[in-house]
Structure 1
Amino acid sequence: MNRNKIYELVEEINSISKLVNRKISSGKHKKFTITTLMIMNQLRIGNVKTLTELSETLCIPNSTVSVIVDKLVKLGIVRRERDEKDRRKVLIYIKDEGLQQEKQIIKCRMDYFEDLFKNASDDEIDCILRGLKILEKFMD
């Protein structure tokens, strides 16, 4: 593949990524970025995690995870507790409020994407899905 095509691909991926981030991180759930939602999701799935576990699972720097968790603690969405077996460890739990918030945000995001694609044909949706699956294969 020639270099111009690769450049065009990179530009399109960046453009789409920025658009999705901007659209998803706007509105009444503005304080919940994609990274914030990824952390909330990991806590819901695993119930309890440490900062390091979140950082390694999501491939995000520990410092970034720490800042986001601090914000979530202030919002009352997660709580931190010292591990009783190992006092050096700080465990992070998602609270019921966090689970409720996550459900609402996911619903809003699904509504957004349903509205976005409401005029797309099945063929267009299939084409987008094929392209995304091919991209995922190359990235994996």
Structure 2
Amino acid sequence: MKHEKGSEIASLIREINATLNAQLREAFKENNLTPPQMMIMFMLSEEKKLKVSEISTKMNLANSTVSGIIDRLEKLGYVQRVRSEVDRRVVHVEPSKQAEELHKLFHDTVTQFLGTIVEDATDKQITEVMTGLNTLQKLLNREKQKD
């Protein structure tokens, strides 16, 4: 019975993820950014600089995949690769000045987008969503701690 619920949860997460990605892709189509590119930009806005391997780990993607995404972001002028002065073999990815403007746009758009989603929801519905998401996060963190 619990395995079936696990499968249902996985299916719901995939559906929610696909819906959010499609709607965010639409919101950012004028910037030519894909959801994975937006995720990297969000991470860099938080961390300021990360190695490709760190981004790969956080996104659960291969280094080569992340490197390709970063190549495209670099061509768009949103990130730059910077070699470490301590160890020249280490390369960090940092947001460019242009990325600061993008981050503000991203933050405002996502906040507005999520605000419109809950706009017509009742207080009870919002509380139920928050409770469910918090419960899921706690369950996931508990599983992560077992590893």
Q: TM-score range by the shorter chain?
A: 0.7 to 0.9
- Alignment length (residue pairs): 140
Deviation at 1:130, TM superposition (A): 0.5
TM-score by length of 1: 0.86
- Asked if the contact 1:24–1:34 (Cα under 8 Å) also holds between the matched residues in 2, the reply is yes
The runs of at least 4 aligned residues of structure 1 exceeding 4 Å deviation read none
Unpaired runs of 5+ residues, structure 1, are: none
Unpaired runs of 5+ residues, structure 2, are: 142-147
- Asked if the contact 1:80–1:92 (Cα under 8 Å) also holds between the matched residues in 2, the reply is yes
Q: What residue is the counterpart of 1:15 in the other structure?
A: 15
- Structure 1 residues 86, 7: closer, same or farther in 2, change over 3 A? closer
- Structure 1 residues 46, 15: closer, same or farther in 2, change over 3 A? closer
- Asked if the contact 2:45–2:103 (Cα under 8 Å) also holds between the matched residues in 1, the reply is no
Deviation at 1:128, TM superposition (A): 0.6
1:1-140 alignment runs, 5 A limit: 1-29=1-29, 31-140=32-141
Considering only aligned residues, what root-mean-square deviation do their CA atoms show, in Å?
2.0
Percent of residue pairs bearing the same amino acid type: 29
Q: Distance in 2 between matches of 1:104 and 1:69?
A: 20
Q: Distance in 2 between matches of 1:131 and 1:107?
A: 25
- Asked if the contact 2:81–2:92 (Cα under 8 Å) also holds between the matched residues in 1, the reply is yes
Q: Distance in 1 between matches of 2:131 and 2:137?
A: 10
- Asked if the contact 2:37–2:69 (Cα under 8 Å) also holds between the matched residues in 1, the reply is yes
TM-score by length of 2: 0.82
Deviation at 1:3, TM superposition (A): 4.1
